[in-house]
Amino acid sequence: MKKLYLYLLIFFLMFSNSFAETKKKSNIIKTNEGLIAEYVLKNMQQDYTTCYVFYKIGAQSVIKSNENSNLVEGIEASSNTSLKLAFETGELVNMTIEKMKKKVNLEIKKQLIIIKNDDSNYSILLNKYAKLCKNIIEGKKKRIAYWEKQAENKFK
């Protein structure tokens, strides 16, 4: 009987290490997947924030130039969509509202520096962000695939 207990003890000791190693390896894989997912979400959140600010500055530029109000409404709708997506994505990565506000304020400063705080330079932002933001608002799959590829290279 003692031999049976001894064999069982040895058996559990031998294989418990093996199970622990398997579990440890699977946690590493999940961690990499988690890192990739977090990287993608944080970058998508930044893209949405960038587009929100881009559209907000654009709407203000159009308002100041007394252009078509339908154009302003379209830009504002894109701005609102960008903000909604930025907020939702920020929540997925447990970003606080305060942190999201700070990111928006930093992006406003960044874009205003680019146009030298002059609405007449808005074309610089148009050239830089218009296509990107349009594509992100209309269909985010390509941008997500882009960030996934970047993440895979980063976390090899």
What are the CB-based long-range contacts (under 8 Å, 24+) for 89-94?
89/41, 89/44, 89/45, 89/48, 90/45, 92/41, 93/38, 93/41, 93/42, 93/45
pTM over 0.95: no
Domain residue ranges of the chain, discontinuous segments joined by +? 42-154
Question: In tens digits, what is the pLDDT along the chain, a chain of 156 residues?
Answer: 544 444 444 444 444 444 444 444 445 555 788 899 999 999 999 999 999 999 999 999 988 887 777 889 999 999 999 999 999 999 999 999 999 999 999 999 999 999 999 989 999 999 999 999 999 989 899 999 999 999 999 887
